Structure 1
Amino acid sequence: MRLSTILLLFFTFNFPAFAQKSLFNGKDLKGWHIDVPAMDKKPDTINPFIVRNGLLVSLGTPGGHLITDKIYKNYQLTIQYRFAGKPGNCGVLVHASTPRALYGMFPKSLEVQMQHKDAGDFWCIEEDITVPDMLTRRGPKENWGVNGDKLRRIKNLTDGSEKPLGAWNTMIIECLNNDVKVWVNGTLVNYGTNCTTSSGQIALQAEGSEVEFKQLDLKPIKELSK
């Protein structure tokens, strides 16, 4: 038997974990936990993350995050989402770690923006990333930062990548080592390198607007060579 065939069989039968998996089972929030600061003092506060008609829904308020129990590294995340009513704000946080690191609300992470007409922007939350044409897309270098009123937003590369309101958008986020790439409906909208972290939890936001999710699929990427 050829060496190439042996290696193919080895990887096929010994690395099943590299198959695509869904982070949402369509029935409940198993594998996730919530962090909603308003619940600290008022435990009966409504949970802004629910399952409705087989969809994962962020109601938008009260503000908070739905966070995976597991930590992930080197993966491609495919998300189908739409604003259920009025357009507004939401986001996917990758490489999330320390909870409530910013404003007592946002976990330390890199946010991939979903806000209507801004899908694919990066927001630095106690983590940082480098993109081409940084001055144009982030502003004056002396004002860059990862917290407070610093310039934390890095604008995406394109406009018009989102579908009309009510239609489903597909966002793909690829995290490989310290690089992060984002596609919206097949268009590469952002690409960053030298991210200050390369692993962490994945989080969805409740940030003012109702958003429905029907696909949250994760496909690990194995780096075979340097």
Structure 2
Amino acid sequence: MKPSASRGITRPTGWRPPSNTASETGLARLAKPMKHSLFGAAALGGLLLGLWFGTVGCQTPTSSSQGLALFNGRDLAGWTHVLEDPTVSRETVWSVRDGILICQGKPTGYLRTTNRFTNFRLFVEYRWAPGKEPSNSGILTRIQPPDRPLPRCIEVQLRHGSAGDVLGLQGMRVAEGQPRFFEARGNPVAGDISGVRKLMDAENPPGEWNLVEILARDDVYTVWVNGKLVNEARGVTRAAGPIGLQSEGGEIHFRQVRLVPLPSRIEVR
């Protein structure tokens, strides 16, 4: 599938801006992703973010009006890894080919950035390996120590059929009492889990590229999948931590991983 180009990021073919038909209170009031240029000029970005949050002073990052390319398309500079089996090399699980980051999915673990982020707008393009069974993965955010195969973090789920779920793992919290909330305590791998399930299914067929957009602002996470608003989770644990890409079960490909840091409205300790 040939992607259609846009300034700063490539959107998959068939991408559509989110509609205004979300039926749940709160979701219908959320802002759309930027329609024409995800990373416009700093002034325009600041204005739009100000409208979103009622704060006129928000600005795009000073490092680049195009955001930060966490994956450079050539190698894994700026990333480190954690694997369930420490005797397995990083190269056995992750490789870069033709600008695509390929994850074999076994053993369980993740790549994570060496830099830490609290508030951000994150764009991740992924697909399940063409011709293979789709499986499980996730975008791990605000990762906390210690390193372990499934860390304490806030995960945006990529598991086939569940893309867009927001989960707090190992005791990281998502507030209860909101629509689609769920929790499970004492999971042998993930510890105490709390989360909010996606509002709708927006994944493309297996083998096609998907674009996930995550807006993390203090204790609120908003998620779009292929331009459709699929989730809002509130009461999310605030913490600074790396961004991670999960290895969990099946081959998955990542093409663009780009982040726009955002300022905090609440002091993070």
Q: Indicate yes or no: 2:108 matched with 1:67.
A: no
1:86 paired to 2:150: no
User: Partner amino acid for 1:80?
Assistant: E
Structure (1 or 2) with the larger CA radius of gyration: 1
1:121 to 2:165 alignment: yes
Secondary structure of the residue that 1:214 maps to in structure 2? strand
In structure 2, distance between residues paired with 1:222 and 1:81 = 27
Which amino acid is the alignment partner of residue 179 of structure 1?
V
Residue in 1 aligned with 2:205?
Answer: 164
Structure-2 residue corresponding to 1:196: 237
Which range moves more in the overlay, 216-225 or 86-95?
A: 216-225
Q: Matched residue of 2:254: which SS?
A: strand
Counterpart secondary structure, 2:200 = coil
Give the counterpart letter for 1:181 in structure 2.
T
- Give the direction of change, closer, same or farther, for the CA distance of 1:151–1:107 in structure 2 (3 Å limit): closer
TM-score (norm 1): 0.80
Structure 1 residue 106 corresponds to structure 2 residue 106: no
Larger RCO, structure (CA 8 Å, separation 6 or more):
1
CA offset digits 1:184-210 (Å, max 9, x no partner): 011111111221223211111100111
> Partners of 1:30 and 1:17 in 2: how far apart?
18
Note the C-alpha offset of 1:132: 6.0
* SS of residue in 2 equivalent to 1:109: strand
Q: Is the 8 A contact 1:91 1:115 kept in 2?
A: yes
> Counterparts of 1:123-138 in structure 2 under 5 Å?
123-126=167-170, 127-130=172-175, 133-134=178-179, 136-138=180-182
Q: 1:176 to 1:65 in 2, by over 3 A?
A: same
Give the letter for the 1:124 counterpart.
Answer: G
Amino acid at match of 1:106: L
Q: One-letter code of the match for 1:115? A: R
State the Cα distance separating 1:150 from its structure 2 match. 5.0
Unaligned runs of 5+ in 2: 1-56
Report the identity percentage: 32
Separation in structure 1 between the aligned mates of residue 192 and residue 62 of structure 2, nearest angstrom:
43
Q: Helix, strand or coil: the match of 2:141?
A: strand
Mapped to 2, the partners of 1:18 and 1:199 lie a distance apart of 20
Alpha-carbon shift at residue 131 of structure 1 (Å): 6.2
User: Which structure features the higher share of helix residues?
Assistant: 1
Question: Alignment partner of 1:73: what SS?
Answer: coil
Deviation at 1:50, TM superposition (A): 1.3
Partner of 1:72, secondary structure, is coil
One-letter amino acid of the counterpart of residue 200, structure 2: T
Structure 1 residue 18: Cα displacement = 5.5
